[in-house]
Structure 1
Amino acid sequence: MNVSVWKRAGVAAAAVAVVTGVAGCQDGDGKAAGADKAQTQSLGDITKVIRTAYEKTSAAKSAKIRMTMELPTGLEGGGTMEMTGVQGWDPTVMDITVKGSMLGAAGAGGADSMRMITLGDVMYMDMGAKQAAEMDGKRWLKLDMQAASEASGDKVLSKTMAGGLENMNQDPAKQLALLLDSPNLKHLGAEKVDGVEAQHYKGTLTLEQMVAANKSLDVLSEKDRAELVEGVKKAGITAYDTEVWVREDGYPARMDLGMKSAQGTVKMGMHFSDYGAKATVQAPPAEETVDFFEMLKGLGAEGGQA
């Protein structure tokens, strides 16, 4: 498997991790769309709307998704990416098609789209027909991060990896639950999203609150957690904003997330539809799949390295 293909796979996997693990952050200096509109709901009314959206989203367990992301050029693989497909958060599954300049920049014959499937702790990436021809028909790359971390014998690594994988398919209901903890939750007015009337809300969370909510960091000691927070603050990240547009039926139509850093601002928008749509996601046929970590172990054995 050539280097450009590995790079393309890495860019795609990293992008999905960023998209679904950022957990909500908009440039604190930016002005939200509709921010000039008068506050028309009380805090009690706002909280009731967000809580209802949380309950409905949690019960739906799945939805069709359309996500767009822009990474600043200061980050490796910077560019744009769009993801469309279906996502389920109970159980954790995803079947999406990824496309955009970020994949094109990674090479692989100029291909600019890739299908990605996640089932629990395992991710599969379709590397295309050209790659299959070079790998005895195996076009799917399998990444089982949990199995690899457990094989390492490092319990801390294993727990951290498991948490990271959980974040890769972030439950939108959890995003709404976090928003309820915002000390300055605001209603920005009514707007149309994808042709549907919706109410626009925004709230800010501190970095400490976001770290506390990230279960993948539970393996850290209080000292390590404090150092992590301080390090992130030095990078210019101090608070996170989440925006959500809630439809009249109580379901979120859109969420805007982002993260401001020294390298620039990661911007992401997520549009949801067809809540409760059956997320029937299946693993690719075994005969068309190559296990990334098994391949690495084989290469290491050939090279005399662990």
Structure 2
Amino acid sequence: MSVYRKKTVGAVLAAVLLVGGATACENGKKTDSGKAGSASAEPAKPAAAVSPAEALNAAYKKTSAAKSAKVRMTLSMPAATGAATNMEMTGVQGWGPDVMDITMKGALPAGSGAESVRMIMSNNVMFMEMPAGSPTAKGLEGMEGMEGKRWMKLDLNAAAAASGDAEALRKLGGLGGVEQGQDPAKQLALLLSSPNVKHVGSEKVEGTDAEHYKGTVTFEEMLAANDSVKALTEAERKQLTDAMKTAGITGYDMDVWVNKDGYPVHMKVGMSMPQGTMNMDAYYSDYGSAATVQTPPDSETFDLFGMLKELGKAGAGA
């Protein structure tokens, strides 16, 4: 992979992190308790009776308070970037606390022997199921003490601390930032920072009545709305901005469809670059209380980071 392509892929991934990490502290105002305010119990007004900003702000509050939803998302990348071109994710995600149980298809390494992989995350620890019959699973079966270990465990905090750049990772939302790009509340927050958001009209989304809103957000506007970026030093902020300019990323096109209950049921984010457009297309349903995610038992997991540390020590000793 060329140096330019590596920089481009890195910039794209950083942009995805930033989209997922956007917040709307001014638009999504909080109650005195510090939690996002819930939407009014009064009947929703017709779309024509409220401004797009008012409608989206109400949807943001309801979505923040819902704390979880089922998600079906497709992420596509231009082939010229050298990154995976198509990835599908389905499952449940929670943002109060941050958890997920997602099955991912596509974007798996060549020779993995698997069409999909299941990922579970809780307390900033990621678990990835090794598909039965895959080269990785077969390799583990032949190792002492690894019988029945079909889940790979990765403590993201430990990985960030050992990366040599833990502070920068923390400021950008950590290694868990990618899956948080699926958080519909944060997507709404980003759209609320658009100065030109508009109501497109009433449309059907998978048979459900919804109101379509659209807006564009420049990279500079996104930075201004993103709390995690405010923690960066001036040098780090310039480095990030320069990387986006080098990759040719100028901003985002965003669409959201809000149903009659005030929840987003469909979201699309398009990010243009010289090689093409990165698209994130997500459908949400079953909004509710905090999601409960069941992590695999210790008897079925192995700690990837711990294993790598032990291998490193053994190598140093040899």
TM, length-normalised to structure 1: 0.79
The answer to whether structure 1 residue 293 and structure 2 residue 305 are counterparts is: yes
State the AA in 2 paired with 1:133: E
Q: Distance in 2 between matches of 1:158 and 1:259?
A: 22
* CA distance 1:213–1:142, change in 2 (3 Å): farther
Match of 2:174 in 1: 163
TM, length-normalised to structure 2: 0.76
Q: Distance in 1 between matches of 2:190 and 2:54?
A: 14
Q: Distance in 2 between matches of 1:19 and 1:274?
A: 28
Residues 188-244 of structure 1 show CA distances to partners (whole Å, capped at 9, x for unaligned) of 111111110111111111212222344444443123312321331232111212110
Match of 2:155 in 1: 144
User: Percent identity of the aligned residues?
Assistant: 51
Q: Is the 8 A contact 1:64 1:274 kept in 2?
A: yes
Q: Over aligned residue pairs, what C-alpha RMSD do you find?
A: 2.8
State the AA in 1 paired with 2:112: A
Match of 2:115 in 1: 112
Q: 2:100 pairs with 94, 97, 120, which one? A: 94
Q: Could you list the structure 1 runs, at least 4 aligned residues long, displaced by more than 6 angstroms after superposition.
A: 17-20, 40-43
Q: Is the 8 A contact 1:62 1:278 kept in 2?
A: yes
The answer to whether structure 1 residue 45 and structure 2 residue 55 are counterparts is: no
* CA distance 1:270–1:158, change in 2 (3 Å): closer
* CA distance 1:267–1:153, change in 2 (3 Å): closer
Residues 114-144 of structure 1 show CA distances to partners (whole Å, capped at 9, x for unaligned) of 1111113111110122305344221111111
Match of 1:23 in 2: 19
Match of 2:214 in 1: 202
- Specify the SS of the correspondent of 2:51: helix
Q: Is the 8 A contact 1:146 1:162 kept in 2?
A: no
Q: 2:141 pairs with 130, 133, 143, which one? A: 133
Q: 1:255 pairs with 267, 272, 291, which one? A: 267
Superposition deviation, residue 174 in structure 1: 2.0
State the AA in 2 paired with 1:75: T
* CA distance 1:262–1:295, change in 2 (3 Å): farther
* CA distance 1:206–1:77, change in 2 (3 Å): closer
Match of 1:124 in 2: 127
Match of 2:283 in 1: 271
Q: Distance in 2 between matches of 1:236 and 1:42?
A: 37
Q: 1:232 pairs with 220, 244, 268, which one? A: 244
Superposition deviation, residue 158 in structure 1: 5.8
* CA distance 1:106–1:210, change in 2 (3 Å): farther
Superposed, 1:186-201 pairs within 5 Å as 186-201=198-213
Gaps in structure 2 of 5+ consecutive residues = 1-9, 21-45
* CA distance 1:294–1:214, change in 2 (3 Å): farther
Q: 2:194 pairs with 171, 178, 182, which one? A: 182
Superposition deviation, residue 155 in structure 1: 5.4
- Specify the SS of the correspondent of 2:316: coil
State the AA in 2 paired with 1:124: F
Q: Is the 8 A contact 2:218 2:252 kept in 1?
A: yes
* CA distance 1:247–1:81, change in 2 (3 Å): same
* CA distance 1:219–1:300, change in 2 (3 Å): farther
- Specify the SS of the correspondent of 1:23: helix
Q: Is the 8 A contact 1:159 1:219 kept in 2?
A: no
